[in-house]
Structure 1
Amino acid sequence: MAVSDFYEALGVSRGAGQEEIQRAYRTLARRYHPDVNKDPNAEERFKEISEAYQVLSDPALRGRYDAFGPDFRQVREDADPEAWRRARARSGTGGHRVRTGAGFDVEDLFGEIFGRARRSPMRGADQEAEVELTVEEAFRGGQRSITLPGPGGPRTLRVTIPAGVTGGQRIRLAGQGARGTGNAQAGDLYLVVRLAPHDRYRVEDRDLLVDLPLTPWAAALGTTVALDTPGGQSTVKVPPGTSSGRRLRLRGQGLPNPRGRPGDLYAEARIMVPDKLSAAERQLFTELAAVSAFDPRDTASARRRR
């Protein structure tokens, strides 16, 4: 079921601080990420969570959302919140949208705010479209051409993708939405970012996760491994005694963040063994089995590994 309130979507109060909002988002994003959660409704829930976070983590957007509710993108920048509330109360909407066959009956509902006659020029409606990006495109940003359908036929736009965009984030293209009536300006177009599944990277907010295959001896003895990242080649130090599932952090090498600290990249150890052993390998493994007292199923040994 769709969650209409952004605070409810993240499970936080309206007075929640930025740290609480970020913690709630991280927890829910890990739970509902489509790469992890195979429930058919998980992807839609993940989109709701991402949209809520993108709005509530931006002070300006959050302020407009608090003032105007779910229609905050359709309201003019100079609209007065008190006039908005009075107009909604008189319209009898009870806080819900009024729809006609073509969408919102904006002129009836917002007449007081705009202070114009019913047939006066009207700003065009804001529109949304989805744009799918690879992890590398989200990391680097850059130029991207997108083609959108429209009543007059398809149109192609050249879009600047900011470095560090995340799934669910909206990119605003001013004046690229629906045309206004009369001489009024057009609405805005919001591109909703969707990150395509990647065969190498998994994304958690701004953090990136990548598998790190290791030989048993490299995991036991420790080593340094060259690792390809979206930002170029790096190295990761594997401590001695590393077990499968251990995450090794490369600080600041996740997705960039224009408003703060970038994400991290985590290399997750995956210990691999040969499919077939040579005679020499079999002899060495046999000797190791004979002299080692290590038992991974023993509780005390497991505690020592941690």
Structure 2
Amino acid sequence: MKFKDYYATLAVPRDADADTIRKAYRKLARKYHPDVSKESGAEERFKEVGEAYETLKDPEKRAAYDALGQRPAGEEFTAPRDWREHFGAGNFGQGMGGVDLGDVDLADLLDALARGRGGHARQPRPRPGQDFDIGAQISIEDAHRGTTLELQLQRPEGPQTLHVTVPAGVTAGQKLRLRGQGGAGRNGGPAGDIYVHLELQPHPRYRVDGKDLYFDLALAPWEAALGAEVHVSTLDGDVLLTVPAGTHSAQKLRLRGRGLGSGAQRGNLYAVVHIDIPGTLTARERELFEALAKESRFEPRKNKESRP
């Protein structure tokens, strides 16, 4: 039997916790997904990553695997005595139903050991099927109003097309669970699930911070100084935003409940003020600005220097 270094396959240390192992698997599964990867041997690496994760995510299988110790990948080895004793009569082959050890794959061996320990082999217990993870990018507008996605999932038995309903009000990092659509269960166990991890596409107008959205709002100097009402676009359509008199550059004006999410948990939309000026002035505009410069006692640099 040849040893497989599952920790090296997932590029995690041997003392990695379950969350680290899960994140490593998701990263590598996306990298080597046959539908998106252009690397040579991606499909084989995808299967190797899945086999490693199937063992290391299961506490019983992982404990049995760790009992083998650390060996070079590909090294031929024989199961140690304490392994054989788990299956009775000091003969591992008998515990496996007379199967020659040399004909048994490491993954099958770990599965058999996880199924039964003690003086004799137990009846195989039901095992849930494998869970699958897949990533999907959606627009901010689709996250707000909901949409239907068509995704391709590479399963061990071949590619599968998924039609996924994304409900309105989802946010970045949220995952959708497709119950029972993962790998088939074994020995009467339930099928696994498919988890769709949602990410938001970059947007030309909005910046995302959790459930809150930000956008830049350009104001003329007189709008900022005197106050104004301006039309701004939101995910729900145009609204009238009141700009208070004395608004300054970089100030954030909040539109409550206009961000991402739904119901009482919906985020806010923030207009980040940027005060703009004309690139060129008419004669009358220059005259008015010059008059303002002579009349005004406003000293912006002095005010900033006096602040603590």
TM-score, normalised by the number of residues in structure 2: 0.61
Q: Higher mean Cα deviation, 214-223 or 162-171? A: 162-171
Alpha-carbon offset, residue 90 of structure 1: 6.6
Residues 76-105 of structure 1 deviation map (CA, whole Å, 9 limit, x = unaligned): xxxxxxxx7xx58975869xxxxx987995
Query: 1:300 Cα shift?
Result: 5.9
What is the alpha-carbon distance in structure 2 between the residues aligned to residue 104 and residue 220 of structure 1? 76
Match of 1:286 among 280, 290, 296: 290
**1:194 positional shift:** 0.8
- Name 1:277's counterpart in structure 2: 281
Matched, 1:125 2:130: yes
Q: How many residues align?
A: 224
Residue 240 of structure 2 aligns to a residue whose secondary structure is: strand
1:297 maps onto 2:301 in alignment: yes
Cα deviation code 1:253-290 (max 9, x no counterpart): 111246x5211111111111122222222222222112
Give the deviation of 1:179 after TM superposition.
2.5
How far apart in 1 are the matches of 2:110 and 2:224? Answer: 64
Q: Which residue in the other structure is 2:216 paired with?
A: 211
CA distance in 1, matches of 2:245, 2:174: 40
1:150 counterpart residue number: 155
Structure 2: which 5+ runs fail to align?
A: 1-10, 21-26, 28-52, 68-104
Give the Å deviation of 1:143: 2.1
Spell out, residue by residue over 1:206-243, the C-alpha distance to the aligned partner (whole angstroms, 9 max, x if none).
11111111111111110111111112222211101111
Does structure 2 conserve the Cα–Cα contact (< 8 Å) formed by 1:140 and 1:164?
Answer: yes
8 Å Cα contact 2:61/2:113 also seen in 1:
no
The structural deviation recorded for 1:297 is 1.3
Please identify the structure whose Cα radius of gyration is greater: 2
Sort the Cα spacing of 1:189 and 1:296 in 2 relative to 1 into closer, same or farther, 3 A.
same
User: CA 1:279 to 1:174, structure 2 compared with 1: closer, same or farther past 3 Å?
Assistant: same
Moved over 6 A (4+): 4-8, 100-104
Equivalent-residue separation in structure 2 for 1:6 and 1:296 (angstroms): 56
* 8 A contact 1:170–1:190 mirrored in 2: yes
Does the 8 Å CA contact 1:294/1:301 hold for their aligned counterparts? no
The CA distance in 1 between the partners of 2:269 and 2:127, in whole Å, is 47
Q: Residues 121 and 144 of structure 1: is their aligned pair in 2 closer, same or farther, counting only changes over 3 Å?
A: same
Q: Whole-Å Cα distance in 2 between the matches of residues 122 and 137 of structure 1? A: 37
Helix, strand or coil at the partner of 2:301: coil
Question: Would you say the 8 A contact 1:123–1:186 is kept in 2?
Answer: yes
